[in-house]
Amino acid sequence: MVRGMFSLALLSGLTALVGLERPVAPACGPVAERVGHAGASTPQADSSMLALFASGRTFPDFMDASTRRLPEWYASAERVAIADSSLARARAVGGQWRLLVVAVDTCGDSLRQVPYVARLAELVHGLSVRIVTPNAGGAAVQDAYRSLDGRRATPTYVLLDETGRVQGCIVELPRPLRHWLHERRGQGTRESTRALADSAVAWYTADAGASLVHEVAVMMEQAKVGAPLCEHGTATAGAAEAVTGG
């Protein structure tokens, strides 16, 4: 396992990743429409995506430009550890890939995820990461790749090939958390916002970035063989407030 400056001590008493029963994360994002359906996107070639990527910040520059939660961002970056298995899979893909990330410094989901993909890019030749905010062009990406329940959310990740064609996406949350949360939203939940946020923090701590890094590696593998993975929702009429993550 490749680590950052310091190792992350997992919370004691938490079950294994698949067995954790309440992995829920409130969304980080603005008011948005409800979803019509979840779907997989068809890759779209668009030179404007390369331009948007080029306009983005590197992870160190993004942190330096942050005005909120900066100590938390640095602490999160210091705890990063990348699993050897996921690193090997990402390195084996080869080629040149760009991971465009839409994130904001106030979003708890962003600060608990983005350092991991940034570290992965440091370790994988041919993979680069740039970060844009919604106000700096990222809103259009959020509109195209919404959460499963149709919100614009952060973080949003879009994988681009050398030509700027979208070859995959990850919206808002790592897959286990994303699916559990979508199911809960469909059923309704009685938990308070604080309780949901606490459950999210516990899940992130137990997972230690493993699910996200694995999903990025798999997304790269599928992109290489021409079978992009991009699970996202579609906005329809109506609006619902997005809950801000802690």
Domain ranges in the chain are 40-233
The dihedrals phi and psi of 32, each to the nearest 5 degrees, come to -150, 165
Q: Is the separation of the CB atoms in 74 and 104 below 8 Å?
A: no
Contacts of 228 (CB under 8 A, 6+ apart): 40, 41, 43, 159, 166, 167, 168, 219, 222
Mean pLDDT of all residues in the chain?
A: 81
> Which pLDDT belongs to residue 236?
60
Distance CA 59, CA 114 (A): 8
Residues in the chain: 246
pLDDT tens digit at each of 246 positions of the chain: 776 533 333 223 333 333 333 333 345 754 333 333 344 444 445 689 999 999 999 999 999 999 899 999 999 999 999 999 999 999 999 999 999 999 999 999 999 999 999 999 999 999 999 999 999 999 999 999 999 889 999 999 999 999 999 999 999 999 999 887 777 666 665 666 677 778 888 999 999 999 999 999 999 999 999 999 999 988 765 434 344 346
State residue 39's pLDDT score.
45
- The per-residue pLDDT for range 173-221, each reduced to its tens digit, is 999 998 877 776 666 656 666 777 788 889 999 999 999 999 999 999 9
Whether a cis peptide bond, with omega within 30° of 0, leads into 155 is: yes
Instruction: Please report the pLDDT score of residue 144 as a whole number.
Output: 95
Report in angstroms the alpha-carbon separations of 180 from 50, 137, 200. 33, 30, 11
How far is it, in rounded angstroms, from Cα 173 to Cα 157? 10
Rounded to 5 degrees, what angle do the CA atoms 93, 96, 100 make?
105
Q: Which residues contact 188 (CB under 8 A, 6 or more apart)?
A: none
Going by their DSSP bridges, the two strands 2-3 and 81-82 should be labelled as antiparallel
pLDDT at 45: 53
Residue 166, SS3 per DSSP: strand
Q: In the prediction, which pLDDT does 188 show?
A: 60
Q: Which helix (H) or strand (E) holds 74?
A: helix 70-78
pLDDT of residue 4: 55
Q: Judge whether 21 and 231 are in contact, CB under 8 Å.
A: no
Residue range 40-233, CATH number? 3.40.30.10
* Inter-residue contact 32 to 107 (CB < 8 Å): no
**pTM score over 0.75:** yes
